[in-house]
Amino acid sequence: MKPLIAALLYLSTHHYSFTLDSGFDRRTQDSLVETLKNYHLVLQAEGGSHALEIYERLPMVWLTFLHERFGTTRFFFEVGRGVDILGRRYMETGDTSFPLFRPRFWKLLYDYNHTLPRKEWITEWGVDFERPKSYLAALKFLMPETTPPTSIRTYIDLIKNDTSQKPDCDHILELNKALQKGLKEPALQQYLGANWQDFKDMIDNPGSCKDVFKNRNGHMAERLTQYAQNETMSYGEFGEAHTVLNSKETMASLINRTPGFEGKVATVNLYCYQCTASEPVNNWPLRKIEKDILKDLLPYCTGPFTLFDLTGLEGYNEYGPFLIIAKGQH
């Protein structure tokens, strides 16, 4: 891509520096409010590597802004329902005895939520497959302490008597298959009470830890639109392979073509420049425009993070209306 003079002028006035400590300044917020007013969902890409520490803090930059300016109270991560069940327990009690996905993020969210009225708390809903560690821990948390009726004791014992310290994928799939039979038992629903829907959502999760590529984008898109359909503005953070809009198969693209969400997905892709992590950093979902990012956008990056509004820049915006360049992060 070779931007014309008009495009270069556009870039010069549509980039915004920020930090994880200060978040978006007033100019950036006002510009984002104007641009996002016609969207229903902001999807932040985890570009470069899931292992970058910035993803412990970047969600709070977006969530605080979206909560304060759009009233957002629901967000989505690339995890199963078990993770957000444990996260909600932590929000209520501060109890860290159960495993938490990205504990620093949850602590930041805990501190923020507890400055708000309870009805305004920001809560997560997991839409991906269940991870072994959080799956078993969440099931145990959902179990009442009272003795179950004889007709369903087998199912409850399968959960309560499971002492696996490091359950693997095969183990939880076998357990989940056995528990699916219990969904037909009215006594089980009565026994679980208010925890029934969470339990059912976990057991009915169509995603599988065995084959993460089998219709994974479709499953996540279906669940996310189901959970977000009554929300004015929601937030999600997923791997960049799921957020780019230039492919019809990604989760973001599928949602963007779902009734009620048509053209309403604001993807914020992320390019990592000179970043390091515990695994190789790779910007492969943006590889076709990588040279242009380095040539045309990188010169505007004077701080650790620069947000580009690409809505008016043909070519770049095929991947999504926004892009963040993160410099030297880890």
Using the predicted structure, report yes or no on whether residue 42 has a pLDDT greater than 90: yes
Q: Comparing C-alpha atoms, which of 326, 324, 319, 313 is closest to residue 8?
A: 313
Q: What would the pLDDT profile of 81-102 be if each residue is shown by its tens digit? A: 999 999 999 999 999 888 888 9
Looking at residue 4, its pLDDT comes to 60
Domain ranges of the chain: 5-72+213-227+234-327, 132-203
Least trusted range by pLDDT, from 3-17, 42-56, 233-247, 292-306: 3-17
Using the predicted structure, report yes or no on whether residue 3 has a pLDDT greater than 70: no
Average pLDDT for the chain: 95
Which residues are registered as beta bridge partners of 76? Answer: 236
79 within 8 A of 131, measured Cβ to Cβ: yes
Using the predicted structure, report yes or no on whether residue 223 has a pLDDT greater than 70: yes
Q: Does residue 5 or residue 221 have the better pLDDT? A: 221
Using the predicted structure, report yes or no on whether residue 210 has a pLDDT greater than 90: no
314 pLDDT band (50/70/90 cuts)?
confident
User: In angstroms, rounded to a whole number, what is the distance separating the alpha carbons of residues 176 and 207?
Assistant: 12
**DSSP reduced 3-state for 17:** strand
Using the predicted structure, report yes or no on whether residue 165 has a pLDDT greater than 90: no
pTM to 2 decimal places: 0.94
Q: What would the pLDDT profile of 119-154 be if each residue is shown by its tens digit? A: 999 999 999 999 998 999 999 999 999 999 999 999
User: In angstroms, rounded to a whole number, what is the distance separating the alpha carbons of residues 200 and 223?
Assistant: 14
Q: Which residue reads 């991870």 in tokens?
A: 131
Looking at residue 98, its pLDDT comes to 82
Query: Alpha carbon 305 to chain centroid distance?
Result: 20
195 within 8 A of 218, measured Cβ to Cβ: no
Query: What is the CATH topology of the domain spanning 5-72+213-227+234-327?
Result: EreA/ChaN-like  fold (3.40.1660)
Beta strands in the chain (DSSP E): 15-18, 41-46, 74-77, 123-124, 234-239, 265-273, 305-309, 322-327
Looking at residue 9, its pLDDT comes to 87
The sign of the torsion formed by the CA atoms of 179, 183, 184, 187 equals: positive
255 within 8 A of 261, measured Cβ to Cβ: yes
Q: Comparing C-alpha atoms, which of 55, 53, 58, 56 is closest to residue 22?
A: 58
Looking at residue 265, its pLDDT comes to 98
Using the predicted structure, report yes or no on whether residue 65 has a pLDDT greater than 70: yes
25 pLDDT band (50/70/90 cuts)?
very high
Looking at residue 7, its pLDDT comes to 80
Q: Which residue reads 């006002």 in tokens?
A: 30
315 pLDDT band (50/70/90 cuts)?
confident
Tokens of 260: 């009620």
Percentage above 70 pLDDT, the chain: 98
- Amino acid at the residue 170: D
Looking at residue 330, its pLDDT comes to 93
H-helix segments, 94-152: 103-113, 132-142
In angstroms, the Cα distances linking 131 to 63, 136, 138, 246, 255 are: 24, 9, 10, 29, 23
Which residues are registered as beta bridge partners of 201? Answer: none
